[in-house]
Structure 1
């Protein structure tokens, strides 16, 4: 090997060591690796920076915006509430969690899918007496399964396709990978329902001990044209709400206490609930209910559609003390609408408008995201804090968001435009049609992931141009000989091992040139190796650190590190067996 090849291998070894130790952020480690290769002359500036203009990386960024539109319009929430239902068996519950997750993750980045499903499934599990630990790990795994079913299902697929097209090959089709992704997903789901459910722990949520015990009184209005009108309390799904209780209904001038399950909802009914913050956040995502905004509040909502929940505690200096909410005109004074009140654990009755404000009352407000910064040091409030993931969804634009995603998929699949063009047009349409605000779109783009992808390309390019990839491929071939099926299995296992130690995108970029060199040496088609890298780089099942969705469910599910080893290692071996068996049959050597 040339001297530059040894430098590249040394940089690769150092990069892997730093990524595995997790002392520095992954994007910083890979940026340092890129700068080292550039400084030592291993790569020219165009070669080192090529990743920042790669089609795969730009497509990933555009799809983040499309996914944000689905999240902010509540489009995914509608699917969650309609599909979960009331299961009688654990296996049925797991299927109802996994099936829609796989379907959605095939077309939407799986991180927002899991982020949306997570709170809904926690509440759903409580309602149905199920342990969340039996459902959340299958949720994460199903999101990974779905990502392997289409080209846009996960950023890893787009990155590998970017490498493939960068070598001068025509781009892969939207559903090409489905030939191996769907059988693998079905096998994985069957394993989790038949064997995995016995290995999954039955454990209390790790966050439940720190749950906010404060009970709020919240009032919601039944929208006159909404889907809940003329439905009973049970049919509307308002009887079993976990930590939220329907106290009474305010109908015109009378109050209906101790609401019967068969009571039918009428237009403009005011429903008074008692519950904690998490339950109220979920309540706001039920289509057909909204906060009973006054004329001024409604004007604020129209002017500033991007709103979220904020928690404040009234100080003794607040000028609105001893006034009712209606008299105080809180919305005019502070530019925010009161949606709930908590007072020393008391259950407040008769509607929020008649509540007399007192010092130390805790209010839950619906306000613009900048409201917190503007009022954080106000003498009128003792505490001001925003509630995470509490943005008010815009259900009226959910159909637009789904239509945009469908247009992206159809146009790319039919070959009308290239995948990158379809994704960019989808992102532009999401912004232009008001499915997501510009600021929310900026926040939705995970710059850490994009920087990791861009810098990983430099390391992969160095392996290729210095001949280091070919040398590693020769070592790879010395073990199994010239049997391409065995080489494919070994390449899959190496990629799978790497993706548990470093990010899946980095693992794919590092293994791609090695696999291409191995295919060239064997004199076989490189396509089986391309799809093996895609599948193996997404096979992050045996550690919570292997993939971000695993980490998202780790705390809420009350899991331990060994739980992922126990359930994930057999699953990884199963996925390896299915992929290595199916890939050469679909794409012959």
Structure 2
């Protein structure tokens, strides 16, 4: 084996543990790997940048714009309003929820579908007197199952298809070719969730209960009108660096000063709202010039145009992970104050300033209205849900947005134009008709996913051009004793395991050239292995970190790691058995 092949294998073996264990984003890790491989001469600049010209990458980008048009016009909200309704029993609720989610996810990126449904499901579950935990995990799993039905369903399908037609143009697939396997997998998975879900899902209270009463996590004091603190700044009054408290806002003459700065001057009669522990109230009462608030109404129960209460789920890409809130100056960076933190379905008690943030933590924030728009598409947070006064989108153009999406699907399905051209035409129409603004389209582009996909191509090219893919393929063949079926099973299992640990797109793209080399050596049909890669990379149910939608519901649902293993383990096995049974029948070796 050549030196270049050893380097390529060494880089790949380093990438996977880094993506599984490091806080660095997969895009940064993969781009770094491509730069290293190019610097060492394993790949040339054309190979390194080849991913940025791949048709699958551009199809994914145009689909993000189409999804943004549905979101901006409130298209998904319409379905929520008219479909969820008033079901009878828990299984009826699951049926009403899962069927439309799975159907939508066949044509829309499932991340915004799940993000839109979560707040609706939270309030819907209260009306039904069900714990949100009984619905949120099935919501994520249904979106994943729906994505396996069409080429549009997941970015992984589009990317693997792009790799396929770049290498073998004659093997181009149709939009619904995957449905021969995807529909049975999705139906079986939905039946599993509806029939067995109520027995397997937990029933803890989760975030809704933990954040139910604002009085539990706020302390209110009043500045004495003739006291010594009048006209002093917050810094001078000693209220800036309290041990277990944050001053989050001041109510003054019917208005609210949110995200209070150290130079803010106090006035007589100001009501000061602190977030912290109840024990810290003793410390406040000892400060001369402050007295307990005489108003029986909690300040957070009042509505102010300057203030919003917001729930935000911390992303695994948040720069504050592992840092204490006070040390990281969270309030300064985001312009929002942390009122409470929920982790594993329970509110974190004690000194908030000393809490180190973790991925999937749910934060209850007090913020100004611009915070919501600014961070709705931020990679720092997986979900932004406003608790009071949430503005709803204008629905007038929702039918037009849906019409454009369905038109793009029909053009691709009937073979009138390619999937790339259909997505491109749909995105252009969405912009021209005003269903989606240019700024909303830019926000809708998930640059991390796009960069991860593009960089993965460079790493895959290194495996192929250096000969490493061929060597690895021969090693796999030796273990499989030249059996095409064993190779198919091994492909599915390896990709399924990797996608639970790292990103599904990276796992699929890096494994693709190895599996193709092995299949070519056997002289068999390549399509069974292409389909197996698509399904194995998408069917991620075992861990909250395996798929973004799983991480999105992990915090709001108050789930534990074991909950995903218990519910998702059987679903992973069911999807794998059905897919591996049907793939050789639809695409014979």
TM-score when normalising by structure 1: 0.72
Q: Which moved more, 1:563-572 or 1:496-505?
A: 563-572
Q: 1:562 to 1:41 in 2, by over 3 A?
A: same
8 Å Cα contact 2:122-2:208 kept in structure 1:
no
In 2, Cα distance between the equivalents of 1:344 and 1:9?
67
Q: 1:118 to 1:384 in 2, by over 3 A?
A: closer
What is the CA deviation profile of residues 210-238 of structure 1, one whole-angstrom value per residue up to 9, with x for unaligned ones?
A: 35749xxxxxxxxxxxxxxxxxxxxxxxx
In 2, Cα distance between the equivalents of 1:577 and 1:130?
32
SS of corresponding position for 1:473: helix
SS of corresponding position for 1:392: coil
Aligned to 1:174: 175
SS of corresponding position for 1:395: coil
User: 2:365 matched to 1:364?
Assistant: no
Aligned to 1:459: 459
Aligned to 2:581: 581
User: 2:489 matched to 1:489?
Assistant: yes
- Please state how far the C-alpha of 1:314 moved relative to its aligned partner: 6.2
Aligned to 1:504: 504
8 Å Cα contact 2:70-2:398 kept in structure 1:
yes
Aligned to 2:154: 154
Aligned pairs for 1:431-450 (under 5 A) are: 431-450=431-450
In 1, Cα distance between the equivalents of 2:420 and 2:296?
54
Aligned to 2:349: none
Q: 1:511 to 1:318 in 2, by over 3 A?
A: closer
- Please state how far the C-alpha of 1:365 moved relative to its aligned partner: 6.8
SS of corresponding position for 2:192: helix
Aligned to 2:231: none
8 Å Cα contact 1:55-1:162 kept in structure 2:
yes
Aligned to 1:210: 211
SS of corresponding position for 1:479: helix
- Please state how far the C-alpha of 1:393 moved relative to its aligned partner: 0.7
8 Å Cα contact 1:312-1:364 kept in structure 2:
no
Aligned to 2:141: 141
In 2, Cα distance between the equivalents of 1:531 and 1:405?
25
- Please state how far the C-alpha of 1:345 moved relative to its aligned partner: 7.5
8 Å Cα contact 2:480-2:487 kept in structure 1:
yes
Q: 1:212 to 1:317 in 2, by over 3 A?
A: closer
In 1, Cα distance between the equivalents of 2:206 and 2:40?
50
Aligned to 2:163: 163
In 1, Cα distance between the equivalents of 2:113 and 2:367?
32
Aligned to 1:22: 22
What is the CA deviation profile of residues 276-327 of structure 1, one whole-angstrom value per residue up to 9, with x for unaligned ones?
A: xxxxxxxxxxxxxxxxxxxxxxxxxxxxxxxxxxx997644979xxxxxxxx
SS of corresponding position for 1:396: coil
In 2, Cα distance between the equivalents of 1:207 and 1:34?
44
SS of corresponding position for 1:363: coil
Residue of 368, 378, 395 corresponding to 1:384? 368
Aligned to 2:540: 540
Aligned to 1:186: 187
In 1, Cα distance between the equivalents of 2:202 and 2:417?
47
Q: 1:211 to 1:64 in 2, by over 3 A?
A: farther
In 2, Cα distance between the equivalents of 1:537 and 1:408?
25
What is the CA deviation profile of residues 173-203 of structure 1, one whole-angstrom value per residue up to 9, with x for unaligned ones?
A: 1001111111101111122222233111111
SS of corresponding position for 2:368: strand
SS of corresponding position for 2:305: strand
User: Structure 2: which 5+ runs fail to align?
Assistant: 216-247, 257-293, 309-331, 337-365, 373-383
8 Å Cα contact 1:72-1:392 kept in structure 2:
no
In 1, Cα distance between the equivalents of 2:538 and 2:452?
16
Q: 1:55 to 1:315 in 2, by over 3 A?
A: farther
Aligned to 2:405: 405
- Please state how far the C-alpha of 1:465 moved relative to its aligned partner: 1.2
Aligned to 1:75: 75
- Please state how far the C-alpha of 1:580 moved relative to its aligned partner: 0.4
In 2, Cα distance between the equivalents of 1:527 and 1:158?
15
8 Å Cα contact 1:312-1:363 kept in structure 2:
no
In 1, Cα distance between the equivalents of 2:368 and 2:167?
54
Q: 1:125 to 1:520 in 2, by over 3 A?
A: same
Aligned to 1:473: 473
8 Å Cα contact 2:401-2:435 kept in structure 1:
yes
Aligned to 2:3: 3
8 Å Cα contact 1:313-1:363 kept in structure 2:
no
What is the CA deviation profile of residues 79-108 of structure 1, one whole-angstrom value per residue up to 9, with x for unaligned ones?
A: 112111212222221111110000000000
In 2, Cα distance between the equivalents of 1:560 and 1:318?
41
Aligned pairs for 1:417-436 (under 5 A) are: 417-436=417-436
8 Å Cα contact 2:136-2:553 kept in structure 1:
yes
Aligned to 1:279: none
In 2, Cα distance between the equivalents of 1:383 and 1:427?
33
Aligned pairs for 1:225-244 (under 5 A) are: none
Aligned to 2:523: 523
Aligned pairs for 1:55-70 (under 5 A) are: 55-70=55-70
8 Å Cα contact 2:306-2:368 kept in structure 1:
no
In 1, Cα distance between the equivalents of 2:307 and 2:69?
20
User: 2:563 matched to 1:563?
Assistant: yes
8 Å Cα contact 2:66-2:427 kept in structure 1:
yes
- Please state how far the C-alpha of 1:366 moved relative to its aligned partner: 11
Q: 1:383 to 1:552 in 2, by over 3 A?
A: closer
8 Å Cα contact 1:312-1:383 kept in structure 2:
no
TM-score when normalising by structure 2: 0.72
Q: 1:345 to 1:177 in 2, by over 3 A?
A: farther
In 2, Cα distance between the equivalents of 1:421 and 1:164?
17
- Please state how far the C-alpha of 1:480 moved relative to its aligned partner: 2.5
Aligned to 2:100: 100
What is the CA deviation profile of residues 496-518 of structure 1, one whole-angstrom value per residue up to 9, with x for unaligned ones?
A: 00101110000110111111111
Paired residues, number: 452
User: Structure 1: which 5+ runs fail to align?
Assistant: 215-310, 320-342, 348-357, 368-372
8 Å Cα contact 2:512-2:533 kept in structure 1:
yes
SS of corresponding position for 2:556: coil
Output the aligned Cα RMSD: 2.9
